[in-house]
Amino acid sequence: MSLDFLIHAARRGREKAYAPYSGVKVGAALETEGGKIFSGCNIENASYGLSNCAERTAIYKAVSEGFTRFKRIAIVTKKPETFYPCGACRQVMIQFSPDMEVIVANTQGKHKLFKARELLPHPFLPKELLADETRKGTKGSLQKTG
């Protein structure tokens, strides 16, 4: 899949953005390692904390369909400069594919390319949850030891 195709898919996703408060419309297109594309857009809510970014929308759509390994994601805005993912989106990207490519682009054709791990050099990883705890009991429940 070409980079231009993925950016174009993100631009199409941007058209569906619901951004009545900020006016900033963002689109994303996520490519799985198998080549399937999932698009996403930002969805704002009057209770700002309940809003969702385009990147997480695309990733959550993919995960809900059983995909958890990603090759790259393109993120598109209309801003004159490229727009970077927020910290929450960076953390979610790292959770699934720390080496995936992240393409930040604008509608004027400017783009930059990064690895997810470059955007969040010190992530919180699943292994951190087990640092001071061990698995005991059934069904993977976590209980403190000592």
CA nearest to 41, candidates 21, 64, 11? 11
Q: Is 61 exposed, middle or buried (0-12, 13-18, 19+ CB in 10 A)?
A: middle
Task: Work out the number of other CB atoms within 10 angstroms of the CB of residue 67.
Answer: 17
Q: Which of 33, 55, 65, 118 is catalytic?
A: 55
For the segment 34-63, what is each residue's pLDDT rounded down to a tens digit?
999 999 999 999 999 999 999 999 999 999
How many angstroms separate the CA atoms of 106 and 11, rounded? 9
Contact 128, 99 (CB under 8 A): no
Higher pLDDT, 139 or 107: 107
55 is catalytic: yes
pLDDT for 117-127, tens place per residue? 999 999 988 88
pLDDT at 146 over 90: no
Distance in angstroms (rounded) separating the CA atoms of residues 22 and 14: 14
CB 28 within 8 A of CB 41: yes
Rounded percentage of the chain residues whose pLDDT exceeds 90: 79
**Which pTM value belongs to this model?**
0.86
Query: Which domains occur in the chain, in start order?
Result: 3-121 (3.40.140.10)
pLDDT, tens only, 21-37: 999 999 999 999 999 99
